[in-house]
Amino acid sequence: MIATVILGTLAYITAWIMVDFKVKYMGVMNIGDAGELMFGKWGRRWFGWGLVLKVSSTSEFPRSQLTNRQWV
């Protein structure tokens, strides 16, 4: 019960901070935009490529295609 109340409070505070940020910076749609906001054009490039590498390394499609292949 205590953990549920603590986690619920933490989620509420996090949502409050995120809504305030979104109202202040409406143009930030992804991690690349956030990188540009913090570090300029180079931040946008680094954060954007970091996101591409993260998504491509954690996707399930290539692994599922290799493990489910049936040889005839």
In this prediction the pTM is 0.58
Residue pLDDT tens, the chain, 72 long: 999 999 999 999 999 999 999 999 999 998 889 999 999 999 999 999 998 888 888 766 555 555 555 655
Residues in the chain, overall count: 72
Residue 47 CB neighbours (<10 A): 20
Dist CA 35 CA 46 (whole Å)? 8
Spell out the residues 6+ positions from residue 31 whose beta carbon is closer than 8 angstroms to its own: 47, 48, 50, 51
